[in-house]
């Protein structure tokens, strides 16, 4: 049984969230209900996912005109296309006739054809064909285009925003650009991720673990991880409006990588400085993108929340240009992944058990080590958005009550 559900999301609850955004030495973890309660997740959709920039994939997944891929987040089916002008377009994948999904998976097409009744949409989402609708009164194809979203690209990643009035993303990532510049992620290469993972825990549990230096030499103690010691974690100060956060983690030797040799297996990104070759970088762009950056590869995870207790993850790896042409590339991948898989298995077990613990009547708001500052930085990103959304929703509700009262006065009089 989940003993955490019976709680009032009132002023007391939201005021108490401020304690999670205090400096790391003073901060408390978020209340367990933020990870487990379906009602809170519904609120979170409006507070975060309806208005923030959401990573959906990579530009090189749609290199050519007509290329498309599909995805979904918070239950919204989405299709991303490369149109005839080579622009990237993002739109709902829901046919505006009878709600059939117009595309699945990925491929290349001149138009998106709904398989149900063959309504056809251009790569811009315009309805261009609707068979046997001539006798339908007042029917105009212009009224039934696929809804579109804002699109922005950063470091080769595609982001969308459901909010047509949302401010641009790139200016709020200027603090991350310099630390990623020498990796040139826009031109990095890697295979398209396979089938997405579906994990049975809250998306924030995954986000926290992906950038948690505190557990590195505890949970992962051993030769596959000890060369990235928790004690060498550092957390640069970032401007308050930054749309992400990151930590550096020094390594005990240069060109370290997660494999049995502890050394880079793939070509090192060619522009790296000596300083960059002696550390790793862990970066998060909530609520959807997490990066593990080493000298020869970058693991990316695109998190797609679907319920309070589950989310999908598209996981891929990027390499320096030309790395995939090596005749031993696949063998090197096998060697690397055999080690990474062991580390990931430990993380996944912990994530699953944390979700179990968060539902306990005894789950509480814990305290942080300095090595967990990334968790406090996530809180500092979340809490203002939670509180702003609640104020916005409260104002909207008050306006609605005022209108109802006005109507009542008119009717009564």
Q: Which two tokens stand for residue 410?
A: 């008119």
Contact criterion met (CB below 8 Å) for 99 and 76: no
Picking from 161, 194, 211, the residue at the C-terminal end of a domain is 161
Specify if 277 maps to a domain: yes
Specify if 76 maps to a domain: yes
pLDDT at res. 114: 98
Specify if 280 maps to a domain: yes
For residue 276, give the nearest of 255, 291, 257, 303 by alpha carbon. 255
* Statement: residue 1 has pLDDT above 50: no
Q: Are residues 200 and 221 in the same domain?
A: yes
Q: Which domain holds residue 19?
A: 11-50+177-388
Omega of the bond prior to 287 within 30 degrees of 0, cis?
yes
The enclosing domain of 307 has a CATH number of 3.90.380.10
pLDDT at res. 262: 92
The phi-psi region of residue 29 (left if phi > 0; otherwise alpha if psi is between -120 and 50; otherwise beta) is beta
Tell me how far apart the alpha carbons of residues 42 and 37 are, in angstroms, rounded to a whole number: 9
Picking from 161, 195, 216, the residue at the C-terminal end of a domain is 161
Tell me the CB-side half-sphere exposure of residue 99, using CA atoms within 13 A: 1
Q: Are residues 306 and 252 in the same domain?
A: yes
Q: What is the mean pLDDT of residues 271-283?
A: 97
Q: Are residues 195 and 65 in the same domain?
A: no
Of 280-284, 297-301, 380-384, 398-402, which range is least confident? 398-402
pLDDT band at 407 (very low <50, low <70, confident <90, very high): low
Specify if 352 maps to a domain: yes
Q: Are residues 267 and 331 in the same domain?
A: yes
Specify if 397 maps to a domain: no
* Statement: residue 409 has pLDDT above 80: no
Q: What is the mean pLDDT of residues 5-34?
A: 92
Q: Are residues 100 and 210 in the same domain?
A: no
Full DSSP string of 284-301: EETTTEEEEE-SS-EEEE
Q: Is beta strand 120-121 parallel, antiparallel or unpaired with respect to 112-113?
A: antiparallel
pLDDT at res. 329: 95
Q: What is the pTM of this model?
A: 0.94
Q: Are residues 16 and 118 in the same domain?
A: no
For residue 235, give the nearest of 243, 251, 250, 247 by alpha carbon. 247
The enclosing domain of 116 has a CATH number of 2.102.10.10
pLDDT at res. 49: 98
- CA dist list (Å): 308 to 12, 29, 366: 22, 17, 20
Residue 257's SS3 state is: coil
Q: Which residues of 99-136 are buried (b: 16+ CB within 10 A; e: fewer)?
A: eebbbeebeeeeebbbeeeebbbbbbbbbeebeeeeee
pLDDT at res. 31: 97
* Statement: residue 400 has pLDDT above 80: no
**Which tens digits make up the pLDDT trace of 148-194?**
999 999 999 999 999 999 999 999 999 999 999 999 999 999 999 99
Which contiguous run of DSSP H or E holds residue 41? Answer: helix 38-44
pLDDT at res. 166: 97
Q: Are residues 368 and 321 in the same domain?
A: yes
* Statement: residue 288 has pLDDT above 50: yes
Picking from 110, 133, 161, the residue at the C-terminal end of a domain is 161
Q: Are residues 157 and 207 in the same domain?
A: no
The total number of structural domains in the chain stands at: 2
> Over the chain, what is the mean pLDDT?
94
**Which tens digits make up the pLDDT trace of 77-116?**
999 999 999 999 999 999 999 999 999 999 999 999 999 9
Q: Are residues 46 and 58 in the same domain?
A: no
Specify if 1 maps to a domain: no
Q: Are residues 39 and 85 in the same domain?
A: no
For residue 340, give the nearest of 286, 279, 284, 297 by alpha carbon. 297
Tell me how far apart the alpha carbons of residues 349 and 1 are, in angstroms, rounded to a whole number: 20
Tell me how far apart the alpha carbons of residues 212 and 44 are, in angstroms, rounded to a whole number: 23
pLDDT band at 413 (very low <50, low <70, confident <90, very high): low
pLDDT at res. 408: 63
pLDDT at res. 406: 64
* Statement: residue 405 has pLDDT above 80: no
Specify if 229 maps to a domain: yes
Specify if 15 maps to a domain: yes
pLDDT at res. 19: 97
Q: Are residues 156 and 76 in the same domain?
A: yes
Q: Which percentage of the chain shows pLDDT scores above 70?
A: 96
* Statement: residue 2 has pLDDT above 50: no
Q: Are residues 247 and 351 in the same domain?
A: yes
Q: What is the mean pLDDT of residues 285-304?
A: 97
* Statement: residue 229 has pLDDT above 70: yes
């Amino acid at each position: 049984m989940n003993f955490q559900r019976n709680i009032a999301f009132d002023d007391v609850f939201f005021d108490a969230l401020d304690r999670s955004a205090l400096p790391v030495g003073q901060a408390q973890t978020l209340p367990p209900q933020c990870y487990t309660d379906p009602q809170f997740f519904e609120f979170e959709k409006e507070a975060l996912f309806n208005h923030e920039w959401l990573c959906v994939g990579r530009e090189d997944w749609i290199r050519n005109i007509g290329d498309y891929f599909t995805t979904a987040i918070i239950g919204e089916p989405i299709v991303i296309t490369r149109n005839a002008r080579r622009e990237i377009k993002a739109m709902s994948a829901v046919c505006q006739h009878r709600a059939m999904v117009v595309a699945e998976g990925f491929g290349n097409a001149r138009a998106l054809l709904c398989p149900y009744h063959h309504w056809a949409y251009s790569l811009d989402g315009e309805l261009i064909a609707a068979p046997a609708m001539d006798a339908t009164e007042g029917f105009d194809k212009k009224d039934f285009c696929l809804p579109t979203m804002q699109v922005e690209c950063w470091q080769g990643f595609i982001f969308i925003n459901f909010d047509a009035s949302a401010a641009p993303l790139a200016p709020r990532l200027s603090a991350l650009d310099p630390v990623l510049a020498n990796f040139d992620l826009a031109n990095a290469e890697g295979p398209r991720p396979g089938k997405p993972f579906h994990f049975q825990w809250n998306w924030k549990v995954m986000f926290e673990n992906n950038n948690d230096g505190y557990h590195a030499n505890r949970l992962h103690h051993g030769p596959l991880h000890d060369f990235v010691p928790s004690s060498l974690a550092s957390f640069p100060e970032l401007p308050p409006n930054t749309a992400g956060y990151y930590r550096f983690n020094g390594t005990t030797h240069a060109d370290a990588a997660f494999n049995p040799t502890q050394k880079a297996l793939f070509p090192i990104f060619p522009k790296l400085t000596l300083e960059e070759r002696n550390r790793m970088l862990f970066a998060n762009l909530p609520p959807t993108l997490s990066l593990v950056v080493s000298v020869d590869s970058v693991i990316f995870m695109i998190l797609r929340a679907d319920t309070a207790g589950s989310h999908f993850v598209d996981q891929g790896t990027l390499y320096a240009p030309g790395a995939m042409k090596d005749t031993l590339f696949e063998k090197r991948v096998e060697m690397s992944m055999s080690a990474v898989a062991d580390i990931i298995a430990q993380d996944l077990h912990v994530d699953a058990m944390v979700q179990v613990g968060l539902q306990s009547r005894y789950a509480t708001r814990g305290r942080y080590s300095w090595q967990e500052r990334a968790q406090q930085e996530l809180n500092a990103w979340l809490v203002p958005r939670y509180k702003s959304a609640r104020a916005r929703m409260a104002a909207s509700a008050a306006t609605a009550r005022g209108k109802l009262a006005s109507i009542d006065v008119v009717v009564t009089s």
